[in-house]
């Protein structure tokens, strides 16, 4: 009588790691879902920036040439700022989600997880994926306002945008974990994260364009040299630019530069966070 080979069963170690990864990811997501303040912030920021700031500043985003109204770039200010608001929502949510590291450390949960059989890589990956998932959801909330900004989103543009949004959310959540690991209080984290968030956002060409028709030398004549330099070395500049390429088909820089910078950010910040996490 022929023996029937038993079905293939994955190793218990792999199952344990995947189960632990899922549990940590789910805990981070549930924590964010129960936080009404975070959800209110995720809804209110797009409304303020898109519907109030975007509409209010739109008339100043153009000039007159020989009596004909011309936009600084071939888009309204509302359309120009729309992808940047997605980045803003992801930026705030990603960094703030790392508060859970301080929370878990304060109440002893982190210590219990760290002494479990799970590798620290798996623990960190679960926390970062959980924060990135919540940040992507908050970024996706802005997409609902696309009709009000007169932006037509194709399925391909949405898929491309979601991929870029995940890379940014993953990178920034990892950066938030690094900050949280070095700061011992909720108050200190809130102050420090805002010191990081606001300069990063406003120096990313998010609320004003650098004229793509100008050369590097001309740009430093039109704008202060220090401002152009800070915008160009800011990695978020290229993330915002890649979002504009996906959602409104406009790039101020090389279209391939944004995705390359986003992947580099994700790898660099996660590796740094893992290095810090292993010392905890």
**Residues 104-158 pLDDT 10s:** 776 666 677 766 777 888 888 988 999 999 999 988 988 888 888 888 889 999 9
**What is the number of helices (H) and of strands (E) in the chain?**
13, 2
198-201 long-range contacts, Cβ below 8 Å, gap at least 24?
200/91, 200/234, 200/236, 201/84, 201/87, 201/88, 201/91, 201/236
Domain ranges of the chain: 21-279
Residue 67 has a CB neighbour count (10 Å cut-off) of: 5
Does the structure show a pLDDT above 90 at 216?
no
The confidence band for 16, taking pLDDT boundaries of 50, 70 and 90, is confident
- Tell me how far apart the alpha carbons of residues 80 and 58 are, in angstroms, rounded to a whole number: 10
SS3 state at 56: helix
Encode burial over 243-260: b for 16+ CB neighbours within 10 A, e otherwise: bbbbbbebbbbeeeebbe
Q: What pLDDT was estimated at residue 244?
A: 92
Query: Mean pLDDT of all residues in the chain?
Result: 79
SS3 state at 68: strand
């Amino acid at each position: 009588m022929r023996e029937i080979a038993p079905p293939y069963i994955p190793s218990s170690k792999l199952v344990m790691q995947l189960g632990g990864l899922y549990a940590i990811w789910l805990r981070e997501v549930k924590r964010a879902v129960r936080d009404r303040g975070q959800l209110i912030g995720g809804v209110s920021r797009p409304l303020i920036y898109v519907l109030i700031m975007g509409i209010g500043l739109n008339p100043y985003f153009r000039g007159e040439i020989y009596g004909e109204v011309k936009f600084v770039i071939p888009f309204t200010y509302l359309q120009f700022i729309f992808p940047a608001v997605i980045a803003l929502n992801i930026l705030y949510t990603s960094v703030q989600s790392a508060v859970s590291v301080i929370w878990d450390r304060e109440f002893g949960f982190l210590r219990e997880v760290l002494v479990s059989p799970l590798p620290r890589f798996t623990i960190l990956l679960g926390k970062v994926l959980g924060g990135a998932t919540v940040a992507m959801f908050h970024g996706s909330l802005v997409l609902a306002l696309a009709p009000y900004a007169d932006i037509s989103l194709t399925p391909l543009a949405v898929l491309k945008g979601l991929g870029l949004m995940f890379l940014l959310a993953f990178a920034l959540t990892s950066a938030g974990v690094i900050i949280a690991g070095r700061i011992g209080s909720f108050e200190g984290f809130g102050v420090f994260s805002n010191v990081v968030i606001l300069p990063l956002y406003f120096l990313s060409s998010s609320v004003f364009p650098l004229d793509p028709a100008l050369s590097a030398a001309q740009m430093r004549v039109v704008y202060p040299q220090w401002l152009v330099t800070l915008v160009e070395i800011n990695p978020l500049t290229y993330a915002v630019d890649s979002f504009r390429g996906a959602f409104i088909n406009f790039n101020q820089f090389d279209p391939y530069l944004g995705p390359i910078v986003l992947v580099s950010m994700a790898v660099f910040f996660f590796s740094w966070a893992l290095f810090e996490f292993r010392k905890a």
